[in-house]
Amino acid sequence: MTAEIAILNRSGVALAADSAVTVGKERVWKSSNKLFHLAPHDLAIMLYGTDQHIGIPWETIVKEYRKTLGSKSFETVSDCCKDILSFLDGIESGKADEKDSNTIELFLAVISLAKDAVSDVDGKVKRRKALKAACDAMGDEYGGQAKALHFDYSEFEVRYGEAIEGLAEEDAGFYISKPVLGALKKACYRALIAPVSTDFSTGLIVAGFGTKQLFPCLSEYIIDGNVDGATRAWRLRHENLNDDGVNGKIIPFGQMDMANVFMEGISPVYRSGFENILEGALKEQTERLIGTFTPASEIVVERHIQSVRISKMLESFRSQLDRVTSRTFVSPILRVVQSLPKEEMAALAEALVETTSMRRRMDSDVETVGGPVDVAVVSKADGFIWMKRKHYFDASLNPDFMGRRKWNNGE
């Protein structure tokens, strides 16, 4: 995991990223590079999640992409994102199993969800019927989402049909009939072409200025493997301060809990727990009143009526809480952010990452956020500027490093 922050106002964008990368479940290295300059442009890339794409370290991919920039020009941040995705489509991995690892992980997740849906069903025949129904339901759910990949089903079945059958029989532990297998394949196919992420996905943030943009923009994508030379990718967020009415933003990535506490005055986990307790209390009181005052013949109808009323009450409560949060916490902070100088934005971004790191040090067995914090600011006037940056080597022992980097069209 990781903690990263982007702070935008009309003078620029400040980016901060920790250095921790988790290997397995217990080992953490605190030297990972997650923030990069797309020299010579006024653009930066920041990464979170898995540190590899189809078996290739992201640091290698970013620096290889940077070599292709040359005299390219991007009018907008979105144009740069399209170019990055095109570059990813052309990457070849040396190992087929690494290239398909995200895809297989996705299939296993779909199979596991289908299996869990019928875990309480007794009897093989009933279980197969329930399994087909679960697969059909998942397929319908995934099919209703936006497309993250264009891939024909007939090609999919030829490519992955046998693998899905093998995974399903191994994981399910019982014979799977042809109708069930067909429904399972369609569910896997629809999950593959939909924006459904796996544990091997990576968040990619591109922030800065296009040549025709006076104010900063930020785009966030999820990159999740490659299928027959096409990158599974979809956009999660696009913030454009060139649009009217938007003058400042604080955007957390990765582990966002402490940034949310800073912005909203309450932890999302605490708020969710509070809402659940309130909902439970309302339902408990409703059941007590229904049992005391409602005739037996009207209990079912009354329960439905009260369930609708409770849902409306909770919706009203959330809406009022959102208004209080916005008025009391979020709006005052954003008003200040809109006028922050660049160095203060950088200091705030670093502080939010450091706060998350301190919290993980106290509440987690594995320190999933930590290490040096890299901080950079991108502005229209000055371009990309490092405020804080780590090196894995002593720069004084490598006097030719800057020259080599310039020669290779690096940062």
Q: What is the DSSP letter of 68?
A: T
pLDDT above 70: residue 117: yes
Per-residue pLDDT, 411: 45
Per-residue pLDDT, 305: 93
Q: Long-range contacts: 352-356, Cβ < 8 Å, 24+?
A: 352/3, 352/5, 352/16, 352/250, 352/252, 352/258, 352/259, 352/262, 353/3, 353/4, 353/5, 353/16, 353/17, 353/18, 355/258, 355/262, 356/3, 356/18, 356/255, 356/257, 356/258, 356/259
Q: In this structure, are strands 52-53 and 56-57 parallel, antiparallel, or unpaired?
A: antiparallel
Per-residue pLDDT, 8: 97
Task: For residue 77, give the nearest of 295, 243, 318, 294 by alpha carbon.
Answer: 243
pTM: 0.87
Per-residue pLDDT band for 313 (boundaries 50, 70, 90) equals: very high
Per-residue pLDDT, 410: 46
Q: Collapsing DSSP states into helix, strand and coil, what is residue 18?
A: coil
- Mean pLDDT in residue range 125-150: 77
Per-residue pLDDT, 398: 81
Tell me the C-alpha distance between 390 and 249, whole Å: 26
